[in-house]
Structure 1
Amino acid sequence: MKPVTVFEALSLMLTFGALIVTLLEFNKRK
């Protein structure tokens, strides 16, 4: 298993962050 680069870690965090924000916004609209 190759080590995760800083760029990969950042993009992963951004993806998870966007996903969480989307879920929170979706729950607020109900």
Structure 2
Amino acid sequence: MPVTDVLQLMLVFGILILNLLALVVELIKLGQKK
């Protein structure tokens, strides 16, 4: 596997993880409002 492919995969997974973390934070904020 070329290094560029690995870097692209890491970038995609990093973005996905950041999006999931943002979702979790929003859910926690909503949960605290109730």
Q: Which runs of 4+ in 1 moved over 4 A?
A: none
AA in 2 matched with 1:25: K
TM-score by length of structure 2 reads: 0.74
Matched residue type, 1:21:
V
Q: Larger Rg: 1 or 2?
A: 2
Find 1:24's aligned residue among 24, 28, 31. Answer: 28
Residue 7 of structure 1 deviates from its aligned partner by 0.3
TM superposition score normalised by structure 1? 0.82
- The residue type paired with residue 31 of structure 2 is N
1: CA distance between counterparts of 2:11 and 2:30? 28
Equivalent residue pairs, number: 27
State the Cα RMSD in Å. 1.3
Who is 1:12 aligned against?
A: 16
